[in-house]
Amino acid sequence: MGWDSGTQRRLGTGLSVFDSNGLLRLHLFGARAVYDAQVVGARAFVRASGTDGRYSILDLRTGRQVRTIRDGEMPLVLSGEGGAFFG
């Protein structure tokens, strides 16, 4: 995520999901900035630019949005599988 001072806009690269072999499986959110992503198994909790305080729950196998949570704090996932991502 970055900032373009010329256009006064946030820069983003969306969210790319790779498999265990390093192959790109999904690309979500286009070129929007992703502020936070938490992964639990095959699900991801993601807050991206333009979501107005909402976050999405995604199925990482299909790329389908399972649910949108409005007016809520994203959960902080504690696991031994890796650290949290904060963009």
Residue 53 has pLDDT above 80, yes or no: no
d(CA 13, CA 2): 9
**CATH topology for the 2-74 domain:** Thrombin, subunit H (2.40.10)
Tokens for 3?
A: 């900032």
Q: Break the chain into its structural domains and give their ranges.
A: 2-74
Higher pLDDT, 2 or 61: 61
Report the pLDDT value the prediction gives residue 64, as an integer from 0 to 100. 93
What's the predicted TM-score (pTM) here?
A: 0.72
d(CA 25, CA 22): 9
Tokens for 63?
A: 């790329």
